[in-house]
Amino acid sequence: MKILITLLVLIFASDSFSQNSGSYYKYKFTRDYRPNVEFSYGNSVIKLDGLNPQISDAGMFELKLGFTKLKPSNYSEDLLKFENRFVFLGNADKETSVNQNNEAINSTMWRFGFGSKESYGLKTGFMSVIPYNSNSFEWSKFDYDTLSSVSGINYGTLNDFNGTFRFGKSAEAGIIFQLTKGFSIAPMYEISDIYPRHVFFKQSVSTLIEFTGFYLLESFTRLIIRNSPAAGVFVNFILKSAYEYGFYQLTKVNMDWPFTNAAPLRYNTFKVGMNFTF
């Protein structure tokens, strides 16, 4: 895990150095990418395979800080190329949930991490519509109410996640409605997994399989967009969302599919976000 973090820090540091090593690169970065702030709220359904009854739903608040690039693509003036790199901090708690279930286990969760969004969008009159897919890596600290009176719980399994930061990853699909140049809203759906332990080799192979399939699919949808820009935007979104949903179904029981191992603690969250670009 420490090796992965170190490599990521070095990659980001070298990228920042190259962009600031000359006035041209600094100008290009500031011209193409704009800082953005995103606030979102949603309701999370929390599940762990084999745990019955379930954990109580939680309200999810999240803050994302990042840089966004949105410009006309090479295929059409009305077809937009969208990129966003971000870091985030989030909190989920039963007290802020829209669904209060007193028959389930109460919990709280803090998380932070980094991720990216990439997609194509369309200019449609006074606004732009951008369906997108996002992937993130994160560290989450899950705590549950150990004084819970709920019976029939395998607390040994739940204790694998309790009280310490655990590594995980998430996939998100949403539609950005850019109402003005600097403001947009977006409904979104996220599947986020927290791993009970970090198995570097197995998780690396599983992630490599997932991302290889994702980018092969992206190569295919790019051809559709080139030939039919308007239809291709939504075909790209639907196929990528279906692919990620299918892959996460495979990892619901075995967190490092195709390897056989433990199930992840999963947050399924419907969210609505507001994004401000400066």
Both tokens of residue 50?
A: 């084999």
Please tell me the distance from the alpha carbon of residue 119 to that of residue 128, in angstroms, as a whole number: 13
Name the nearest CA neighbour of 207 among 240, 247, 238, 173. Answer: 247
CATH classification (class only), 35-277 = mainly beta
Residue 160 pLDDT grade (very low, low, confident, very high; cuts 50, 70, 90): confident
Output phi, psi for 161, to 5 deg: -105, -15
pLDDT per residue over 5-45, tens digit each?
Answer: 434 433 443 444 344 444 444 445 556 789 999 999 999 99
> Domain locations in the chain?
1-32, 35-277
SS3 105: strand
* Cβ-Cβ contacts under 8 Å for 208 (sequence gap 6 or more): none
pLDDT per residue over 103-153, tens digit each?
Answer: 788 899 999 999 999 999 999 888 999 999 999 999 999 998 866 666 666
Is 267's pLDDT higher than 60? yes
